[in-house]
Structure 1
């Protein structure tokens, strides 16, 4: 029955590709037209169809889920939730930003705080925290909020390039590649640093009247803010210990989940407050995407296809960066990394290739306003307060910033 088997396999291949394409289409546009299906729901539906259609067995679907990535992301979300609830982020921003007495110094402070925090904590969360703080500050200073708000996601994207815990796609890459935390950071921190300086430069040049001035900022009374001192100390201490263990070579997923679980042991903060801070839809989307891509790999991404793609010389940083950046702007960076996984794993130097993918998929998020979730978070927060960032006002800074940082990243790696 060889003919029947070939027909079955061909039909299965077409079905797997259609499920994959449909899932990624919804993820790319954010929502299924005419329905209330969002990205997380699309990933779950696609995963269910892969199993329901027989492309993957239930056991294969379970094995496709990278539990290290899910565990790391969940642990970091709990840690960041505790830092946020304690008032840690407001304390840091008030301390640093309040000492900037000139518009350019204020911009530099916002970029460096956003970038540094995003280098060790999840960048999307940093944007969620920083956007309302910065908007409130610049309004009290009576400055144009647009360039300051744009600097938050740009700096967060760039800063998060530096470490495995900077953003979700780096967490996946850390799990796939088994690159040690310290080695990852050593390879990419110069890219992040140059990127942060470049962010300040491009924003300042694009808004000369705002930043290239001799006029100082007016004195303002700092807002009365309540902090939870003991929780700040506890959360900051746990975070510091986690970072030390990361650099010491301990498994990042284990360290993150133990640290997060320890922070749930408190008399003051109810656990459900922490749970409400966790991005459950993002975790669900990850689970679904792992299964969807596994289905595609099983019947579509054959050894022959991998070999054919390898002829594109993915070992060349410029080529791999370009492919990654373009794909990241089409379907977003997390799905792009999953699609590239089998091709990167088969390259001549997988570790270097993974570093290139981490760099390019993250920096590509600055190209347009819809290039990353971090951008959309700040745009939505701003719009809710009557401030429109605007696609083209973002693009005229984000596009040259992305190209400049990608070129440096390719040269550096």
Structure 2
């Protein structure tokens, strides 16, 4: 069950939307940055495996940061980066939803359609977690089925002697292979994020020392295998410039395969996959805002809930409004790299925490990664952070500044409450 939970978080929306963007960076060798991104993700996953089995508590990276550094503001910033990444990811997925996949059914402007989509996600989120989780189970099955269909079509195309297998090792002319792969890996990394949320269910896992690492690494390797096969299929069936020119690249692959799969059918599958990713991230983001408000780390109004359904309506409204605003600030690739930047800051904190906490002994056995892995993971995070453009840093910096402002307001309000309570004592 834990394997499926992690696999469902990792697989899906990113690959449906970003294959074309990756092809635009690396040409036909789409599978290469996917393998590189998987290897980089596995390094950080090793740090999560050690810390989750060592401290099996909900809270994930923010808890690890508090244990390692003992500074509440740093712990808050790690949690805020997770929150900001979720909201930004939902904004990017909304734009993906409103692209070529939706155009099969409706010819509407992308940005207004993305805003309406986010509103519908918010309404489902406000209905309650039970309804949202039920919808997620169905949508996960559909999105995995769509990826397997694409792989099957690739086998069909090769079997009848069509396609171009040579494209899978071609890089863009005039660009070094190394820089092309690194730039594309930054985008491909977005397709592997999601595994970090599994740290929040550590307390509900039986025999966490044995189960968690197996499920984590198994899910990432499975997702990586599926992604590589999808990347190979896309490159074999279509030229990279055709993939790069589409906001629905896998639909273009299905169409070019000549297998007779109806456009409406596959577009519906892709829309379900993208909607599922957006729903999961908005559920996580709104509940994280609510939790931070409950702990006094965000202003108290963020913790208000609907009387009957007990859903955090203020948190849902605010996170939805921020996601809507972010859809106006960039395209899918830009928002995806912003998500990666924010999560790289979280991963950097976690990888350093593994090293800092090595001397902290606990009274139970746990997974222990070789020291070289978190060291390499720190280096990988710094490498990918160095590839980010100034505009991406600016967008992430604004989000972090807003978080610090809200944190400061919550601390001031908390001190005033304490002072008032002291003043009222007889």
Tell me which interval the TM-score lies in, with the shorter structure as reference length. under 0.3
Q: What's the TM-score, normalizing by structure 1? A: 0.25
Q: What's the TM-score, normalizing by structure 2? A: 0.25
Relative contact order: is structure 1 or structure 2 higher (C-alpha 8 Å, sep ≥ 6)?
2
